[in-house]
Amino acid sequence: MEPHSLAERLAEGAAQLELELNGAVLIRFVEFVALMRKWNRVHNLTALDDEGEILTHHLLDSLSLAPFISGTCCMDIGSGAGLPGIALALCRPDQHWTLVESRAKKAGFLREVKARLRIDNISVIAGRVENYRPGENFDTLVARAVTTLASLLNMTDHLRHPHLRLIAMKGVYPGDELAALTPNQRASTRVVPVEVPGLSAQRHLVVIDGLPRLRP
């Protein structure tokens, strides 16, 4: 797939998600994919290297989250290759994204992308979210293929406040994970099926709003 073709397909897929990406943003997405593939040859950032699969399984999958983001101060937990955080930051320059990544090489990649693409609305935190103590409240936390719902709620307990939204990106309907939650946790939770352009696999978003802290 040639770069211009990648940009065209991304624009078409984004339009199906009711997102409009201008030419400058599309160029940065193409550069992001090129950096991802370059680093992937050495550091194994992601199991996918084909541009077409990166488009559907990573970029459009990440962008499907955009309508569900609340507020402008957001965190991507276990960001890895910057998915979904960098994709959403490129799409929404009005939002600031903090990318939290515990693996040093992947955190290094995130910093490289920030510098090379001049993305001003992201910050990179090299460490575990359990140990991160920000000086401000976040509006939305997102996690993609990080851990179970119960574990995610436990590791982010210190970040919760009454207006926080937590979104976990899942594949098939996470029935077993939902069953492992407490009744109070389930009462604050809804599951939304999403369709990703070009992707036949199931995708669900688990959205948890306003859950109080378990620990003071």
Q: Is the residue at 56 inside a domain? A: yes
Is 131 among the domain residues?
Answer: yes
What pLDDT, on the 0 to 100 scale, is given for residue 46? 83
pLDDT surpasses 50 at 75: yes
Q: What is the extent of the structural domain holding 67?
A: 3-209
Residue-level pLDDT at 96: 98
Q: 57: domain CATH number?
A: 3.40.50.150
pLDDT-derived band at 216, boundaries 50, 70, 90: low
The yes-or-no verdict on residue 214 having pLDDT over 80 is no
In a domain? residue 174: yes
* Burial class of residue 187, CB neighbours in 10 A (0-12, 13-18, 19+): exposed
Express each pLDDT in 94-112 by its tens digit.
999 999 999 999 999 999 9
Output the pLDDT for position 43: 80
Residue 215 lies in a domain: no
Question: Does some domain include residue 113?
Answer: yes
Residue 216 lies in a domain: no
Nearest to 150 by CA among 181, 105, 107, 176: 181
As a whole number of angstroms, the distance between CA 116 and CA 112 comes to: 6
What's the whole-number average pLDDT of the chain? 94
How do residues 156-198 score in pLDDT, each as one tens digit?
999 999 999 999 999 999 999 999 999 999 999 999 999 999 9
The answer as to whether 203 is a domain residue is yes
pLDDT of residue 1: 44
- Chain mean position to CA 105: 18
pLDDT per position as a tens digit, 9-57: 999 999 999 999 999 999 999 999 999 999 988 887 787 778 889 999 9
| Structural domain count, the chain | 1
Domain assignment present for residue 180? The answer is yes
Distance between CA atoms of 192 and 203, rounded to whole angstroms? 9
Which positions ≥6 away from 64 have C-beta within 8 Å?
17, 194, 195, 196, 203
Give me the torsion for CA of 168, 171, 173, 174, rounded to 10°: -50
